[in-house]
Amino acid sequence: MIDIMKMKKWLGFISIVTVIALLFTSCRGQATSGDADQKLVPLRVGVDSGTFSTGYRVADLKGFFKENGIDAQVTTFSFGGDTVNAILTGQVDVGVAFDFTLLARLNSKKVKILSRVQTCAPDVNKIVARDGITSPTQLSGKSFGVARGTIGEYATAMVINHYQLKDVNQVKLSSNADIVAALQRGDIKASLFSGTALKQALAVKGARVIGTLKDIDAKSLTSRGFIVASSDYAKKNPKALAKLLKSVNKAIDWTNKDKNRAADLLSKSLTTPKDSTLTELNGYTFTMGLSTDDVQSLKSINDFAAQHGLYSTNFQLADMIDTEPLKLAYPNKLTYKESELK
């Protein structure tokens, strides 16, 4: 006869094993689902070849991107403006650029401004000249080096306008190294320099500082750097861009706490001397946010550009701003109000 008691024991044992197996499978399913949620979001990031992109570089080097769920694919370009060009040609999703440089590329309507990330005081940018030139007023008829497609074009226009210079030959070059070399050869008699390039320019025989942008207009020429993104990417991925902003904000906080430490990290990455890297970092004030004053500054530059025909201004500035990522990441850092613009 069948032992009823043994059968009950076996059935009970099988039931327990089945329940345990189901629980284990369920837990594994939940873990797999959680892992999927933690999958890193790929984001193509454009940076310049210097310290201007400090927020992006430090976020990458210190692992802050990964901490916030971003798989950053970083590509280096010469200038910040080149990162915007790369957005326009579909090479990267986000970049960083100074105000004028950015505005000169907004006519395509393919780029959105997300947040300010830093400012640069006007006295950081020095006018350096050679061949006995001792004052900016002596630059009429002279060759002046300009970094093509950068804020240098706007700053040079401001210098010419302020000192009422005539027949200045603006020699547009592709990099700071090219401008320093042109000064060395005598192909240009003056240009604007800062950071490492300033140190190199002053090493040219007979070169001297003859003025700064602060002498012209301290408020208007306080440069602001902005984080920007592809319009299409911003529309589809506001949460990913919020993660980007959190990563960069952590990076600039880390930088601000000890710029000497940051200079050590960046000089190794950029293969530049630590002292000059630190000098450049000290020229920047790193802060994230977007205020009415930030946008008013952009508008003032845009109005100047329109008056002097510097680039096409066939766009509405307010339409070029996407506040959603900053609102998601740091709503308290968003104080911009379109209604307050003058």
Res. 271 pLDDT band, cuts 50 70 90: very high
The Cα 123–Cα 140 span in angstroms is 22
Mean pLDDT of 331-338: 94
Q: Given this chain, do its domains 41-120+223-340 and 123-217 carry the same CATH topology?
A: yes
Which residues is 120 bridged to in the sheet? 223, 284
pLDDT at 159 over 50: yes
| pLDDT tens profile 198-243 | 989 999 999 999 999 888 875 667 889 999 999 999 999 999 999 9
Smallest CA-to-CA distance from 48 within 84, 80, 72, 85 is with 80
> How far is CA 46 from each of CA 105, 131, 229, rounded to the nearest angstrom?
15, 39, 10
Tell which residue, 284, 276, 327, 262, has the closest CA to residue 123. 284
Mean pLDDT to the nearest integer, 304-322: 88
The CATH number that domain 41-120+223-340 falls under is 3.40.190.10
Q: What are phi and psi of 134, to 5 degrees?
A: -115, -5
Residue 244's closest CA among 36, 38, 42? 42
The mean pLDDT of the chain is 88
User: What are the domain boundaries of the chain?
Assistant: 41-120+223-340, 123-217
Backbone torsions φ then ψ of 8, nearest 5 degrees: -65, -40
pLDDT at 60: 98
Instruction: Please report which confidence band the pLDDT of residue 151 belongs to, taking 50, 70 and 90 as the band edges.
Output: confident
For the chain, give the number of residues.
342
CATH fold group of domain 123-217: D-Maltodextrin-Binding Protein; domain 2 (3.40.190)
pLDDT in the model for residue 243: 98
Q: What per-residue confidence (pLDDT) applies to 4?
A: 53
Percent of the chain with pLDDT strictly greater than 90? 67
Q: Which residue has the higher pLDDT, 167 or 276?
A: 167
pLDDT in tens, 2-50: 455 555 554 455 555 454 444 444 444 444 333 444 689 999 999 999 9
Give the C-alpha separation, 201 to 151, whole Å. Answer: 19
* Segment 175-195 mean pLDDT: 94
